[in-house]
Amino acid sequence: MSDAALARASAQIAAAQKGVPIIRAFFDAPTFTVTYVVHDPETRRAAVIDSVLTYDPASGRTSADAAEPVLAYVREQALTVDWHLETHAHADHLSAAPYLQKQLGGQIAIGAHICAVQKTFGALFNAGADFARDGSDFDHLWADGDSFSIGNLSVTVLHVPGHTPACVAYVIGDAVFVGDTMFMPDYGTARADFPGGDARTLFRSLRRILELPPETRLFMCHDYLPEGRSHYVWQTTVAEQRRANVHAHDGMSEDDFVAMREARDRTLAIPRLILPSVQVNMRAGHLPPAEDNGVVYLKIPVDQL
């Protein structure tokens, strides 16, 4: 693929031996989500990727239970957090980025196409004038091919839509954090039936990631236990995905993938936390403003999904 961002990411990976990131994963079992702390061993500058705020839908209570181990690790390692990176507006958990930002500093960032998600879901939730729909709830919006640094680590942003319009992957040293675009090889790929999702676009995003060097390490945002596996895993490689991904291995045509993905998506249930998650995550993890009685409310639109 003659793509400047992909070429830059490939070159970055080829030269990454000197700047290999230190990666620590935190698995949240209730949401099957993996949060990563990535840091440069030389400068100890860090980023937190896809953090989780614990939410109980029965009581409406939030807590920092899932985020506290992340906070403790950052402090134990004496890291300086520059970024709280979101791969997309998650539909299965609330982001803890504002909580961690308050404790640790740093900027909250996501792909620039979050504006499309905000417009769609801002309408669904009938969000008021406080909700700008222009991405300004976030501290920074990434365009495809943007580059930045975490200490001495080079980072390239790849726009990989299909699951949602705003999905991005972060290439950090020799590692790529793929969000929900793909899962472990024995589980396959993300659904593409959310508003703005598209199976054909997802296939092209998958192939974009899989054109990176074969030794590239890939880190998943989720793991679910498929039949035949008894333990959670979230790290693989481009070579392994190309060889064995049950939905996107080499030889799978775009048309066959689209037919498979669309048929499979018709059988999937709506995520349990999609309604609370999206209306919070589209605001960069901030809760909606309190109403005139001082109480914060999350809306449940009836018969809309």
Q: Compute the distance between CA of residue 237 and CA of residue 266 in angstroms, rounded to an integer.
A: 29
The letter for the amino acid at 108 is: I
Using CA atoms, how far residue 38 sits from 22, 103, 124, 144, 257, in Å, is 6, 17, 35, 21, 32
Q: Compute the distance between CA of residue 151 and CA of residue 45 in angstroms, rounded to an integer.
A: 5
Which residue in 92, 247, 130, 121 sits closest to 182, CA to CA? 247
The per-residue pLDDT for range 2-23, each reduced to its tens digit, is: 477 777 676 666 555 557 999 9
Per-residue pLDDT at 159: 98
The per-residue pLDDT for range 202-250, each reduced to its tens digit, is: 999 999 999 999 999 999 999 999 988 999 999 999 999 999 999 999 9
Query: What percentage of the chain exceeds 70 in pLDDT?
Result: 96
Q: Compute the distance between CA of residue 152 and CA of residue 175 in angstroms, rounded to an integer.
A: 15
Contact predicate 241/248, CB 8 Å:
yes
The per-residue pLDDT for range 177-209, each reduced to its tens digit, is: 999 999 999 999 999 999 999 999 999 999 999
Q: Compute the distance between CA of residue 302 and CA of residue 85 in angstroms, rounded to an integer.
A: 32
> Hey, which bits of 116-267 come out as E strands?
140-142, 147-150, 153-159, 168-172, 175-177, 217-219, 235-237
The letter for the amino acid at 202 is: L
Please give the order of strands across the beta sheet that includes 33-39: 22-28, 33-39, 45-49, 80-85, 107-111, 140-142
Count each helix (H run) and each strand (E run) in the chain, helices first: 8, 14
Looking at the predicted structure, is the pLDDT value of residue 273 above 60?
A: yes
The set of residues, in sequence order, having a beta carbon less than 8 Å from that of 17 and lying 6+ positions away, is 174
∠ at Cα 131 (303, 30), nearest 5°? 60
The set of residues, in sequence order, having a beta carbon less than 8 Å from that of 109 and lying 6+ positions away, is 83, 84, 85, 86, 138, 139, 140, 141, 142
* Domains of the chain (ranges, CATH numbers): 4-281 (3.60.15.10)
Contact predicate 234/220, CB 8 Å:
yes
Looking at the predicted structure, is the pLDDT value of residue 1 above 50?
A: no
